[in-house]
Amino acid sequence: MYTELSIFLLTLVMGAFASQEQFQTFDDGVRPTAQHCCNTLETVLSSSAILYTGSSGYTAQSSTYFVPDQAAQRPACRIAPTTADDVVLIVKFATASRCEFAVRSGGHMSWEGSSNIGPNGFTIDLQGLRSIELQDGGETISIAPGLTWGEVYAFLKPHGLHTVGARAPGVGVGGFLLGGGVSFLSMEHGLGSDNVLDYEVVLSNGSIVHANQAERSDLFWALKGGSTNYGIVTRFLMPTMPLTQLWGGFLKYSVNAAPQLYERMVKATDQLKVDPRGLMVLCTAWNPATKEHAVWALAVYLAPLEYPSPLFEGLQDIEPIGGTTRIADLGEFLNETGQVLPKSQYSQWFTLTFKADANLPWDVQLKGEDILGDLESPGAHWEVLVQPMNEGMFSAGQKRGGNPFGLSVENGDQFLMLVMVFWTNPEESALMKAKTQEYLKVSMDLARERGLLTKFIYANYASGTQNVLESYGEENIKKMRIVKEKYDPDDLLKVWKGGWKL
């Protein structure tokens, strides 16, 4: 009722202010200017801030994007809703008036325009949606998308609980869960999105609905990999799991140890069938002090037990240069993993998924030498990160109702690779982006030639140029389109820019 009345008032306001400067001609017809969209919404939204360029609030919000290319975009305004009702008003107005917008939760997606927009639109910044509460006697937690995983874990800590969220505190709840989400708990419990029990979502027509296994199960399934196609999620319900202390840390090795470490990682991934409580991630990264690559192995076991067998058998035989493995509190541990990726550096990411194999990661690393090794710029470097996607992860997802990703136990153990190219001089951006695209192609070709490439492209690690949705397979895309047709039949959400569109 409140919403209907507000939209009616908005329409009147639009009419009253309408003048030629407030409309712009685009290829697809005439639309109000983004400035006009912002000004009109300002007259109706009571508790939500509308921030314009030059204001300290606007600057503060922009500066919290993880990568500079996203932070540099200048939407006509940033709208910070504090209630789901305000999200309803914004969506209803934007879709009815054809105002373009982007949506941001934690702002950690890596490519320009994934969760921010230029002056032809406005950004809905969800950071003001901050409600969080334990439900069902502590067995579930309801989380609003303005929170980061660090905030969620800080809330859960006094209860000795954890949930299937990101491994770095700054990552936002919203984007992580709408792209999948690999957690420390994923080897046993599946992806973050496999664990969502209920979504509260604002659809394109401005209605708020719930999607879960019993109610709108089609939308529930599609949202598990839904990106920006179905609506703005204003609340996620997740299960909680007891976890306080764990063993883990980073072990640093000379780059020469990489081939041996990848072999260990194949074995450790296979052993997850016996004990899924561990995780081994390998990252070859540039060490500016020694001016060479080194390998960082992240080894984790979700209980206070050192080098548990059979998971980490043999790892101790490879001598590290240094390390931080210890039994520690989960929070302390997350602070360490949160420091790993350099923030505010120009970067381009890409990803590939392939059958667990010890040789391919090292060969992709060597291709990096060919393509990027002769870079003279001091700030330019690249990292190759490999982590397991084990059979247990896929079967856990299937048991929880399945997802659109097209991965199943039949795929066998997989490695998920994230390649990140960094630089500091913006004048090098065109060159670095071109080199990253070349590196992506060469790496894909190599995995394909060896018969190891899996179709799946992980949304949360992908470059904006990768065909993420297509990688879920024809059947799943067909199903996702049917769900889209049902919940947004006129494709009103085409004004929502960013993410991956069906």
Query: Which stretches of the chain bind ligand FAD, using CB under 6 A?
Result: 66, 103-109, 114-115, 126, 145, 166-168, 170-172, 174-176, 178-179, 181-182, 228, 232-233, 341, 460, 498-499
Give the residue with the Cβ less far from ligand FAD, 363 or 491. Answer: 491
416 and 459 Cβ atoms separated by less than 8 Å? no
Give the residue with the Cβ less far from ligand FAD, 294 or 300. Answer: 300
Residue 115 beta carbon to ligand FAD: minimum distance, rounded to whole angstroms? 3
Give the residue with the Cβ less far from ligand FAD, 73 or 240. Answer: 73
The one-letter code for the residue type at 369 is E
117 and 78 Cβ atoms separated by less than 8 Å? no
Residue 263 beta carbon to ligand FAD: minimum distance, rounded to whole angstroms? 24
Residue 191 beta carbon to ligand FAD: minimum distance, rounded to whole angstroms? 8
Give the residue with the Cβ less far from ligand FAD, 278 or 362. Answer: 278
Question: Which of 241, 163, 246, 206 is CA-nearest to residue 5?
Answer: 206
The one-letter code for the residue type at 342 is P
Residue 463 beta carbon to ligand FAD: minimum distance, rounded to whole angstroms? 12
> Which residue stretches of 207-257 are H helix?
217-223
Measured from the Cβ of residue 65, the count of other Cβ atoms closer than 10 Å reads 24
Give 15: exposed, middle or buried? Use CB within 10 Å, 0-12, 13-18, 19+. Answer: exposed
Give the residue with the Cβ less far from ligand FAD, 14 or 282. Answer: 282
Residue 130 beta carbon to ligand FAD: minimum distance, rounded to whole angstroms? 13
Residue 174 beta carbon to ligand FAD: minimum distance, rounded to whole angstroms? 2
Percent helix, strand and coil across the chain, each to the nearest 5: 40, 25, 35
Residue 317 beta carbon to ligand FAD: minimum distance, rounded to whole angstroms? 28
Residue 107 beta carbon to ligand FAD: minimum distance, rounded to whole angstroms? 5
Give the residue with the Cβ less far from ligand FAD, 39 or 347. Answer: 347
> Which residue stretches of 72-121 are H helix?
84-97
Strands 292-301 and 278-287: antiparallel
Give the residue with the Cβ less far from ligand FAD, 39 or 61. Answer: 61
122 and 98 Cβ atoms separated by less than 8 Å? no
Residue 405 beta carbon to ligand FAD: minimum distance, rounded to whole angstroms? 12
- Cα–Cα distance measured from residue 285 to residue 469, given in angstroms and rounded to the nearest whole number: 29
Give the residue with the Cβ less far from ligand FAD, 133 or 292. Answer: 133
436 and 421 Cβ atoms separated by less than 8 Å? yes
501 and 229 Cβ atoms separated by less than 8 Å? yes
313 and 416 Cβ atoms separated by less than 8 Å? no
128 and 80 Cβ atoms separated by less than 8 Å? yes
Query: Per the structure block, which two tokens stand in for 268?
Result: 């450790």
Give the residue with the Cβ less far from ligand FAD, 14 or 49. Answer: 49
Residue 220 beta carbon to ligand FAD: minimum distance, rounded to whole angstroms? 14
Residue 108 beta carbon to ligand FAD: minimum distance, rounded to whole angstroms? 3
Query: Per the structure block, which two tokens stand in for 114?
Result: 């994934």
- Cα–Cα distance measured from residue 231 to residue 235, given in angstroms and rounded to the nearest whole number: 12
* Strand ranges (E), 336-480: 346-355, 381-389, 414-423, 453-454
Query: Per the structure block, which two tokens stand in for 430?
Result: 């065109």
Give the residue with the Cβ less far from ligand FAD, 181 or 361. Answer: 181
Give the residue with the Cβ less far from ligand FAD, 109 or 447. Answer: 109
Residue 104 beta carbon to ligand FAD: minimum distance, rounded to whole angstroms? 4
- Taken in order 10, 15, 21, 23, is the CA torsion positive or negative? positive
Give the residue with the Cβ less far from ligand FAD, 120 or 254. Answer: 120
* Strand ranges (E), 203-261: 208-212, 232-239, 241-242, 245-254
- What order do you get walking across the sheet with 140-143 strand by strand? 132-135, 140-143, 232-239, 198-202, 208-212
CA Rg, the chain, in Å? 23
